[in-house]
Amino acid sequence: DQQVKQNSPSLSVQEGRISILNCDYTNSMFDYFLWYKKYPAEGPTFLISISSIKDKNEDGRFTVFLNKSAKHLSLHIVPSQPGDSAVYFCAASPLVVSGTYKYIFGTGTRLKVLA
């Protein structure tokens, strides 16, 4: 049972346009959400996060939106650049007893930004 779903395995966007990556989750106890970016042969790198008490978080060209009632998360990249071409993972976690987060990752969406 996939608790975090990224239903689009791939996405192509023209340079300068908006990229929208989507993520759905099933566990209403999820408290904290992140997006990671991964280039080939490298580890994932943190991009942006949002806690369940917010509905939006912005960092430069990247904005994450959280719709708790729909259990839906989205990442907007504006404007998209060729260097944004990578695999993007969303991850979610409840706050566990030990005080740390045990993230459940989605399967990833491969974004290709066309020059």
Partner 1 sequence: NAGVTQTPKFRVLKTGQSMTLLCAQDMNHEYMYWYRQDPGMGLRLIHYSVGEGTTAKGEVPDGYNVSRLKKQNFLLGLESAAPSQTSVYFCASSSKTDTQYFGPGTRLTVL
Footprint on this chain of partner 1 (rule: CB under 8 A): 4, 6, 34, 36, 41-46, 49, 89, 91, 98-108
Instruction: State the DSSP string of 69-82.
Output: TTTEEEEEESS--G
Pick the closer one to partner 1 by CB: 60 or 115. Answer: 60
Instruction: State the DSSP string of 51-69.
Output: ETT-SEEEETTEEEEEETT
We find the least distance from the C-beta atom of residue 102 to partner 1, in angstroms, to be 6
We find the least distance from the C-beta atom of residue 90 to partner 1, in angstroms, to be 9
Q: Across the strands, what pairs with 11?
A: 111
We find the least distance from the C-beta atom of residue 83 to partner 1, in angstroms, to be 19
Q: Across the strands, what pairs with 28?
A: none
Pick the closer one to partner 1 by CB: 2 or 81. Answer: 2
